[in-house]
Amino acid sequence: MKKRILMAISLILATAFGAFAQDCFKYFPQKEGTKMEITSYNDKDKVTGVAVYTILKKTKTDAEERLHLRIESKSKDSDSVFTQEFDYICKDGKMYVDMKSYLGNLGAYNSMQVEINADKIEIPSNPTAGQSLQGGEVLATVTNNGIPFMKIGITLSNRKVEKFEDITVSGKSYKCFKITQDSEARMAFVKTKGSSAEWIAENAGVVRSEQYDKRGNRTSYSLLTKLE
């Protein structure tokens, strides 16, 4: 009898762990080779750039799971492509995103040296309306032949899951949860405060994001325009 009880407990724990592991990345694609095209627009609905995210590899250890991605971003007015790599991490039941992905296109500095220090922020696997999330910061230090040239940084604070809603992006409907956050962008000695919002859908990731100035006016937005 004792042996049967232990076997039953083991089966329950294994099932629960399997569900937990499966759900951790449920709001993002996981298949190696998957490409996500994100197109950015200004407040006049004009295209300003395109970024392609590619899932290069999925790895798993006893402690965590990782999705390793590459971003190739290009501005509309430039032929220069900025490439960087980062991870999505699943650990202790929570998913974390490397804030390198928030920097945008740094292709203008391809001929220089760019050092990036980035926090990891949580994207909840089981979001609830009103849920508070920790903030984070990413800082890029640009040097030219060893001489400091510029620092570019983004800080996110007051992050929370605002609500759930259905939205249509590129002709497709998604069931999303919406994250809102305050933001501060820094370039050299100039600081710009504002806010942003992200709509995240199961198996698709961020399908829409919007950026606002400190008065709440939308200044730009991005859409998931291709997923393959």
Digit-coded pLDDT (tens) for 153-196: 999 999 999 999 999 999 999 999 999 999 999 988 899 999 99
pLDDT of residue 80: 79
From residue 40, how far is each of 128, 139, 147, 154 by CA, in Å?
A: 28, 21, 32, 18
Q: Would you say 28 and 69 are in contact if contact means Cβ atoms under 8 Å apart?
A: no
Tell me which residue range forms the domain holding 38: 2-227
**Statement: residue 203 has pLDDT above 80:** yes
**Statement: residue 10 has pLDDT above 70:** no
Domain count, the chain: 1
**Which of 6-20, 44-58, 149-163, 196-210 has the least mean pLDDT?**
6-20
Please state whether the predicted TM-score (pTM) of the whole model is above 0.75. yes
CATH number at residue 151: 2.40.360.20
pLDDT of residue 102: 85
**Mean pLDDT, rounded, for 103-122:** 81
**Residues contacting 96, CB < 8 A, separation 6+:** 88, 89, 90, 120, 121, 122, 123
Q: Would you say 144 and 109 are in contact if contact means Cβ atoms under 8 Å apart?
A: no
Digit-coded pLDDT (tens) for 53-70: 999 999 999 999 999 999
From residue 37, how far is each of 9, 40, 212 by CA, in Å?
A: 44, 10, 22
Given pLDDT bands bounded at 50, 70 and 90, which one contains residue 24? confident
- Mean pLDDT, all residues of the chain: 86
